[in-house]
Amino acid sequence: MDRIALVTGAASGIGQSIAEMLSLVDGATVCIADKDQAAAECAVKSIVEKGGRAFAVVVDLSDADATKAMLADVDQRVGAPDIVVNNAGIAATIPILEYPLQHWLLTLAINVTAPFIITQHVLSKMRARGWGRIVNIASISGVRAGTGRLGYGTSKAALIALTRQFAIESATWGVTVNAIAPGPVDTPLLRGLAGTKEAYEGRLPMQRFGTVNEIAHAVSFLASDGASYITGETLAVDGGFLASGLIHPS
C-alpha cells in the first residue's frame, strides 16, 4: 500500500535523510515541511530525480495557526498522512541564569507544541483507517541533562513524555507512537552549538558521531509494519552514550 508521510524540518540534516529513506526505500509519498522554502524545494527535487515522490510545504512551526493551516493543506493535496515524523527542532547553548524567556517559549513552541498539534490532528484519521505511525525525534538531552541545554533538554524530555501519553491512548487503534533519541549526529545544527564536539569527545563508546542515515534507518523501522507491537518507546541511537558510565578511551 502506498503511504503518505509527513516529515517536519526535512529540508536538511536528519530530516532530509529520513524523507529520502521513506520515499526512496520505503516507497512513501513524502511531504517535506520546512520554513526554508528554497531548501525544501531542493530536497524535493533531489528525491524526485532519484525516482521518489515528494512535495514541499512551507510552515513556521512556532505559529500554531500556521501549523494547523499546513496540515489542512496536506490533507487537501494528498490526503491524511499515514506516517508522521516530528523532526523539526531548535537548540541553543545558554547558561541557566542567562536563558531568555523569549527563546524558552520559542523552543517549546517548535519542539513540543507543534508535535502536539500535528499528532492530535493526524490521529483521528489514523484511528479511522486502523493504521498509523508517529515517530518523534527527541534527543539524549531529553534523558540526561547537560550544561547549557535548559530549553532544549527540557523540551526533548517533554517530547518523550508526550510520546508516551499519545501512545497509551491510541494503542488499540492500530497506531504506534514512538520516539528516537539521537546522540551527537554530524549535522549543521550540532556543529553550530558551541562546545558540543569537545563535550562528547571521549564520552562515546563508539568514539564517533552518528550519521543522519543511521537515524533514518531507525525511523524507517519504527514506521514499518514490522514495528507494529512497539509503542510508547524511546529508542536511543547514540553510539552507547546513555548506556555508559565512566569511559576510558584507552
Active-site residues: which are they? 152
Question: In the structure grid, which three cell numbers stand for residue 174, read together?
Answer: 492500530
Task: Collect contacts of 69-78 with beta carbons under 8 A, ≥24 apart.
Answer: 70/33, 71/117, 71/118, 71/121, 71/122, 74/6, 74/31, 74/33, 75/125, 78/4, 78/29, 78/31
Torsion sign (Cα): 123, 129, 131, 137: negative
Half-sphere exposure of 39 (CA within 13 A, CB side): 13
Q: Which residues lie closer than 8 Å to 121 by C-beta, 6 or more apart?
A: 68, 71
How many angstroms separate the CA atoms of 158 and 148, rounded?
17
SS3 157: helix
How many angstroms separate the CA atoms of 208 and 10, rounded?
24
Give the number of residues written for the chain: 250
- Give the C-alpha distances (Å, rounded to integers) separating 156 from 9, 109, 143: 15, 12, 8
